[in-house]
Structure formats: structure tokens, C-alpha cells
Amino acid sequence: MSLHFNYSMYTFSGYLAFFCITWVAFLWLLCM
């Protein structure tokens, strides 16, 4: 239970970090 919860949180944080990096890169390219 705890391991599955930690794995889900890790996957969610990974997707969130990927989304944030993509969004920042998009804004950076837009402002260039």
C-alpha cells in the first residue's frame, strides 16, 4: 500500500516536472 502510494506520487511529480519544463521552454521560445 505504502509502496504503491509512493510510486504514484513519484510518477505524478515526474509528469508535473515534465509539464513545467515544457511550459517554461515554450514561453522562453515565445519570448525570443
Its pTM surpasses 0.85: no
Polymer length of the chain: 32
- How many structural domains comprise the chain? 1
As a whole number of angstroms, the distance between CA 6 and CA 13 comes to 10
Domain that holds residue 18: 1-32
Inform me whether the pLDDT recorded for 2 exceeds 60: yes
The pLDDT value recorded for residue 3 is: 72
DSSP E strand boundaries for 1-32: none
Q: Report CA-CA distances (Å) from 30 to 5, 6, 25.
A: 37, 36, 8
Give tens-digit pLDDT for 3-17: 777 888 889 999 999
**Phi and psi of 5, rounded to 5°?**
-65, -45
Per-residue model confidence (pLDDT) at position 31: 93
pLDDT in tens, 16-27: 999 999 999 999
* Cα atoms in the Cβ-side hemisphere of radius 13 Å centred on 6: 3
